[in-house]
Amino acid sequence: MIKKFIRKILGVKNQAEGGANRKPKVLGPKEHGIDPQLLSANAIRVTQTLQEHGFKAFVVGGAVRDLLTGVKPKDFDIATNATPEQVKRLFRRAFIIGKRFQIVHVMFGQDLLEVTTFRGASSEGAPKDEHGRVLRDNTFGEQHEDAARRDFTVNAMYYDPANQTVLDYHGGIADIRKKVLRIIGVPEARYREDPVRMLRVVRFAAKLEFSIDPATRAPITVMAPLINNVPAARVFDEMLKLLTSGHAMACLQQLRKEGLHHGLLPLLDVVLEQPMGEKFVTLALTNTDQRVHQGKRISPGFLFAALLWHQVLEKWEAYKVAGEFPIPALHLAADDVLHAQTDALAIQRKIGSDMRDIWAMQPRFDKRAGKTPYKMLEHERMRAGYDFLLLRCASGEIDAEIGAWWTAFMEGDSEQREALINSKPKAGSGEAAKKRRRRAPRKAAASEA
């Protein structure tokens, strides 16, 4: 009892010093209940090879967390005391990558495993920027130091497939059972070192349906602006993870709750305040979540095109009111929105061009006469453009009839297609709308755009 008490005190003290708990709790198969069937053959292959060469090797991080909750991990990270060079030598297809942290990518066919060398305890000597963010840190260390460097207690457990034991340095098992996310060490210090951890806690909370420990949660609102200081490309990667986690809607709600969305998608604030915009974004994200759960591919271009569409609509309208022709006005609006986003969130060139294509296709769906609809069928991004059109219909932005017409056109045989083209286009499209738009640009854009 007294021992336990002292350990508890020491544990708290260690946490304050960065959580350098030296002795892990060791759990056997009966205690942790991991089903070995859930492990990938390649994860076993990597740990086994390393161990056969005298190194320590464990499955670590999210995979252990998933295994403990009975979920088949989507990928496996491996931690070892072998250096990146030593790891590389043991596998035929292994590549050392990364600047901030060097890691080794080991490939088997399409399967990729990330192998990291145990990190050293202290980031004190590491180069930092003026806000305390660690820029580079490649010091290697002991396993207990590596554990203390990880972000959350539930992410700091090690599983050895050979003897089926779990090593738990920071009470991760207890937190998994309590369904709570707790940062290792002093929360403020850990967020300062790497502000992306604030986004990670939001993603994990939404994805795992865990609560956030109050001490872990408290500093976030105050420290949120530190995200602005993280390289935009890294923020973009993290946002993409968040949006394709299968819990995008929940993540976004959590981001707003923590006040973290300001610097990330500055335009999203405005969008979510308009009922139509909110409906559109909600539909798009629910749709994305469903696709993830069905194992379907997610196109980042489509996703960001949807998130920013209502902003494009607003600017498009403004350019038209200012006298631009509709098509150039749409391109100008797209430029503005993409440009405004890049400071906070570096949207990659390819994704930006996908977004632009999807947006630019939208007015073309109004042209349901002559050869245009046939040309649209051959458009490289027809599927994405059409899915986007359906979202606009479902959100009430445009007449559902347009979506139904295109569905029938795409599914129809040549005779049915001819008949559709010859059928009189309904209100909200074609010539009638053009005339209306010329007369009353503001109203027409709302119904047609």
The set of catalytic residues is 75, 77, 151
Q: How far apart are CB 63 and Mg ion at their closest, in Å? A: 6
Q: Is 62 in the site for Mg ion (CB under 5 A)?
A: yes
Binding-site size for ligand ATP (CB under 6 A) equals 10
Residue 277 is a binding residue for Mg ion (CB under 5 A): no
Distance CA(367)–CA(373), nearest Å, equals 7
62 binds ligand ATP (CB under 6 A): yes
Instruction: Give the Cα separation of 215 and 220 in Å (integer).
Output: 10
341 neighbors 351 (Cβ within 8 angstroms): no
List 14, 47, 77, 202, residue binding ligand ATP (CB under 6 A): 77
Judge residue 36's burial from the number of C-beta atoms within 10 Å of its C-beta, 0-12 exposed, 13-18 middle, 19 or more buried.
exposed
**Which range, of 150-158, 274-282, 402-410, 432-440, touches ligand ATP by CB under 6 A?**
150-158
The CA-based angle 228-234-240, given to 5 degrees, is 105
Of 285, 309, 289, give the one whose Cα is nearest residue 392. Answer: 309
Cβ 237 to Mg ion shortest distance, Å: 13
86-111 as b/e, with b when 16 or more CB fall inside 10 Å?
bbbebbeebeeeeeeebbbbbeeeee
Residue 391 · residue 398 · CB < 8 Å = no
Site for ligand ATP in 177-216 (CB under 6 A): 194, 196-197
Q: Name the segment binding Mg ion (CB under 5 A); options: 30-38, 57-65, 96-104, 244-252.
A: 57-65
Q: Which does 151 bind (CB under 5 to 8 A by kind): ligand ATP, Mg ion, none?
A: ligand ATP
Q: Which of the listed partners (ligand ATP, Mg ion, none) does 258 bind, with a CB threshold of 5 to 8 Å by partner kind?
A: none
Could you tell me which stretch among 3-11, 55-63, 320-328, 411-419 binds Mg ion (CB under 5 A)?
A: 55-63
Q: How far is the CB of 77 from ligand ATP (least distance, A)?
A: 5
Classify 103 as helix, strand or coil: strand
Residue nearest to ligand ATP (CB): 62
CB atoms within 10 A of CB 72: 12
Rounded Cα–Cα distance for residues 416 and 220 (Å): 57
Note the Cα 120 to chain centre separation in Å. 28
217 binds, among ligand ATP, Mg ion, none (CB under 5 to 8 A by kind): none
> Residue 176 Cβ, how far from Mg ion at the closest point, in Å?
16
Residues that bind ligand ATP (CB under 6 A): 61-62, 77, 150-151, 155-156, 194, 196-197
